[in-house]
Amino acid sequence: MKIGILALQGAVEPHLMHLRAAGVDVELLRTSAQLASPDIAGLILPGGESTTMLKLLDRFDMIDPLHRFASEKPIWGICAGSILMAKKVSSPEQRSFSFIDVDVERNSYGRQLESFSVPLAGNSEVAFIRAPRIIRVGPDVVVKENFNGDPVWVSEGLHMATTFHPELCPERPSTLHREFVQRCEKAMSLSQKSR
């Protein structure tokens, strides 16, 4: 099985070690043709800068292929990736893709200097770096983890999103990477059965 990582900008490399430790192949995706490949079972939208990612997705004509991918296969948005996956974004408002029915507030946990790590989701620690806050959760969204009363790991249908960075966790693979691999395996198995 092969999982893709959107590699236009952001924290790409740390995911490679986690996914390889989970026993899957990885492809760094930089083109719409790669995104359309039937070999890719799931996609990670990494942490980084969501407005920059949007501009690059536009520039490389990847937005329509990304929507087609999301309609068939799992996507995991991390920090900036969770902003792209949200239904609505504030502070400031920006375009997003509505892959998960949540509203997010950008940079809600503070500036880069106010970043912090805490033990969450079965890991020794995960990092919050200029993280968004999920301020509304739709009726079909499953909250898998909270921090200080706020949802920080959610899923809906094929997809999941985290407002923190599990790729910086020292254990490899992280609990979240194992969960995403299992989600991709399940989706791939169901897709093969329906053919």
Q: Which residues are catalytic?
A: 79, 165, 167
- Residue 94 has which token pair? 């920006």
pTM of the model: 0.94
- Parallel, antiparallel, or unpaired: how do β-strands 25-29 and 2-6 relate? parallel
The residue type of 84 is: L
Nearest by Cα to 163 from 94, 122, 116? 116
Tokens 């969770």 identify what position?
A: 82
Tens place of pLDDT for every residue, the chain, 195 residues? 999 999 999 999 999 999 999 999 999 999 999 999 999 999 999 999 999 999 999 999 999 999 999 999 999 999 999 999 999 999 999 999 999 999 999 987 766 666 778 888 777 778 888 889 999 999 999 999 999 899 999 999 999 999 999 998 888 999 999 999 999 999 998 877 776
